[in-house]
Structure 1
Amino acid sequence: MVTPNDSRGILYPTKLPTFHREPADASLEGRIRWFWIPRWQLAPGRTVRQEVLPFPASNLVVEPGGVSLVGPSTGASHRDLSGSGWAVGALLRPAGLASLRADPQTIQNTEVQIAAPDLHEAVMSAMGEADHEVGRQRAIAAFSEWAAQHIAPDDESGRQANAMEDLIASDRTVIRVGDIAELLGTSVRGVQRLAQRYVGLPPLAIIRRYRLQEAAQRLREDPSAKIAQVAADLGYADHAHLSADFRNVLGFTPNSYRRTPDHP
């Protein structure tokens, strides 16, 4: 199960700004996985690059400039931070995305503006609090209230899509689309339709993203871990296939990642 303290996807934790994750209220857990709030204030002229391997999902994000729906990513992504700023985001469950976007595959690797002036105004007000903790809690409460009114509750198909995501995220033995189909009691084509409608990525891409996230986490956190063993544990055919996945998605090898844990 993916929980707010899950560090998968954060490639260089020491480079994070002040960063908080809060679980969604139980009434929203079928629609939102968690809320995330970074805040930064950097010295003049300083820029810090944030590099992540995103979860195979979409995010609804409020920033001073507006509200946007950030679609699923097919690779790693980065953002250069400077000056001061903040963001308040919601990591959407597949069922939550469905009511905001009927065709999520069309927003791969991009973001679209969402007309939500009431959400923007409420979060802006909250994040203006002098007490940052109070501001975070106010922002999450405002976001939750908006989501309850504007993101439709999960239906049976949405719940099945959420179950698909949970299986892939938590079960290392799931390495093929057929594995998901068997565990969900549906067909391979049914899994493909769920992924297309509720995530916007092919199911195999979702599987590979979670496995690559975990491989990077293991290599970062355990210097003694053998790359070949990590590959075997996560269902890669061999060391070479894991290395190829690193190069294709992240642009570097497992060894080079391990040697540069504080890469800027």
Structure 2
Amino acid sequence: MSTPSDLSGRGPLFPAELPVDFTRVPAGPKDSDLVMWWWFSTWALPPGRHSAQELLAFPASNLAFESDGVRYWGPTTRRSTRRLVGDGWVLGALLRPAAVPAFTQQPAACRDDSVPVSAADVHAAVQTSVHDLTAVLGEVETWLSNRVGTITDEARQANHLADLVIADSSITTVSNLAGALGVSTRTVNRLTTKYVGLSPYAMIRRRRLQEAVQWIRGQVPSSGVTL
């Protein structure tokens, strides 16, 4: 299985061309079952200029704190582009499946879309300390942990499923995934419906597309990216 460091080049399609500062921070002990990592992005563009941020996102959902509020973003089904203008910032979390039911009971309904999250107090704290991640992440992690509550065995199984899909290049079919989990393909489909919002096949294909992008950049061996 790949290590977490092998994932660092995935997400933005052209990271070297982005006029932004982008940082990933590992999940802390309070939210290691809920977040793959936190990410923080800032940008400052001159008047009249913009930048198109192109992404091939992970097969997962994100939680995003921005200046105008907090939103839960469901999984994407295609390459996406975000247009950046002026000054801005985002503090986000790449969510693990166990966190998803705290924001939606139907993650498929949020594909390529977002819904607002009511979190006025923690949003105010982020705005106050937005450029000091050390100061703000502890409070945000506590808020997220309290919102999710007790993590069930089923939710942990969904986390394991996502870990395998995202990092294990040997898994190329839904049957491979079911075998690695020790469950039926029916159970795999049930878990991804409830906790991800994408089919297991779509999740696997997204990882393979990300690997192909990394291979083009010369970051991974070619043996893992045959499509």
TM-score by length of 1: 0.80
Distance 1:62 1:153 in 2: 23
Do the aligned residues in 1 keep the contact of 2:77 with 2:111 (CA within 8 Å)?
Answer: yes
Please report the RMSD computed on the Cα atoms of aligned residues, expressed in angstroms. 1.7
Percent of pairs identical after alignment?
38
Match of 1:123 in 2: 126
Distance 1:176 1:39 in 2: 38
Structure 2 gaps of 5+ residues are none
Matched, 1:18 2:21: yes
Structure richer in helix, relative to its length: 1
My pick for the range that moved more, 145-154 or 63-72, is 145-154
- Residues 156-235 of structure 1: matches in 2 within 5 Å? 156-221=153-218, 230=222, 233-235=224-226
- Residues 35-184 of structure 1: matches in 2 within 5 Å? 35-127=38-130, 132=131, 135-184=132-181
Per-residue CA distance 1:83-125 (angstroms, 9 max, x = gap): 1010111110001112221110000000001111112111111
Pair member with larger Rg? 1
Distance 1:153 1:220 in 2: 41
My pick for the range that moved more, 5-14 or 153-162, is 5-14
| One-letter amino acid of the counterpart of residue 189, structure 2 | Q
Do the aligned residues in 1 keep the contact of 2:108 with 2:193 (CA within 8 Å)?
Answer: yes
| One-letter amino acid of the counterpart of residue 59, structure 2 | P
Count of residue correspondences: 224
When residues 58 and 2 of structure 1 are mapped into structure 2, their CA distance, relative to the original with a 3 A threshold, is farther
Distance 1:153 1:92 in 2: 16
Structure richer in strand, relative to its length: 2
Do the aligned residues in 2 keep the contact of 1:15 with 1:48 (CA within 8 Å)?
Answer: no
When residues 33 and 2 of structure 1 are mapped into structure 2, their CA distance, relative to the original with a 3 A threshold, is farther
Query: 1:2: how far off?
Result: 6.3
Query: 1:171: how far off?
Result: 1.6
TM-score by length of 2: 0.93
Query: 1:33: how far off?
Result: 0.9
Structure 1 gaps of 5+ residues are 237-264
